Amino acid sequence: MSAEPGRAALDTILSRRSIGRLGPPAPSPAELQTILTAAVSAPDHEELRPWRFVVLEGPAKDAFGDVLAEAYLARCRRDRAEPTTGQLEKERTKLGRAPVVVVVGASPRAHPKVPEVEQVAAVAAAAENALLAATALGYGSMWRTGDAAYDPAVKTALGLSEADQIVGFLYLGTAEPGRAPEAQPRQLGDVVWRWAPPGPATS
């Protein structure tokens, strides 16, 4: 990290990397409050507050694994697919990959100036703010989705409505020593160009 205070935020952004398996300690309640306050500091067109956050921790998080497993079985029945033991077990246990998981939901509403895509974009910005705040506080994190994120039964079990969207499951916790990946600087490549007005037509 840079000693220059002005660079600290930039260092956090450039060093954030996903860590797939996290252990204790989890962010404290006060730190989680800070992380979620950072989330709601994201740009929000017309201040519609389209975000929702559901915190899964402790025994409630373990119990939610059963909801994910049941939802998987119901999707298999719906799709006339044979459930696999491996996937069922994965659904039941996957929240165990971190001591706290924050489900970030978007609850867009009809608005004459702010289409749904902008409201979901605001929630995605909130999710990234949360990851960056967690990184700044020294925690590891990972943003995941998967089929459960699009399952109406999972949404309603969380207290969201079926019309809401799950933008991500944010896994938060502490990386085991030596398991935090080194941040490799991303290359911009050819995704940036400067627009210039077209020159005069040549004949």
Ligand X SMILES: Cc1cc2nc3c(=O)[nH]c(=O)nc-3n(C[C@H](O)[C@H](O)[C@H](O)COP(=O)(O)O)c2cc1C
Interface ranges with ligand X (CB under 6 A) = 17-18, 142-146, 168
Distance between CA atoms of residues 89 and 68, nearest Å = 10
> Across-strand partners of 141?
18, 172
Distance between CA atoms of residues 120 and 102, nearest Å = 17
Distance between CA atoms of residues 13 and 4, nearest Å = 15
Nearer to ligand X, 29 or 138 (CB): 138
CB of 199 to ligand X, least distance (A): 39
Q: Are strands 51-57 and 140-144 parallel, antiparallel or unpaired?
A: unpaired
Nearer to ligand X, 80 or 186 (CB): 186
CB of 185 to ligand X, least distance (A): 11
Beta carbons of 150 and 144 less than 8 angstroms apart: no
Is the CA virtual torsion 159, 93, 32, 130 positive or negative?
negative
Nearer to ligand X, 57 or 128 (CB): 128
CB of 144 to ligand X, least distance (A): 4
Nearer to ligand X, 37 or 145 (CB): 145
CB of 172 to ligand X, least distance (A): 13
Give the angle subtended at the CA of 47 by the CAs of 41 and 53, to the nearest 5°: 55
Nearer to ligand X, 11 or 143 (CB): 143
CB of 30 to ligand X, least distance (A): 25
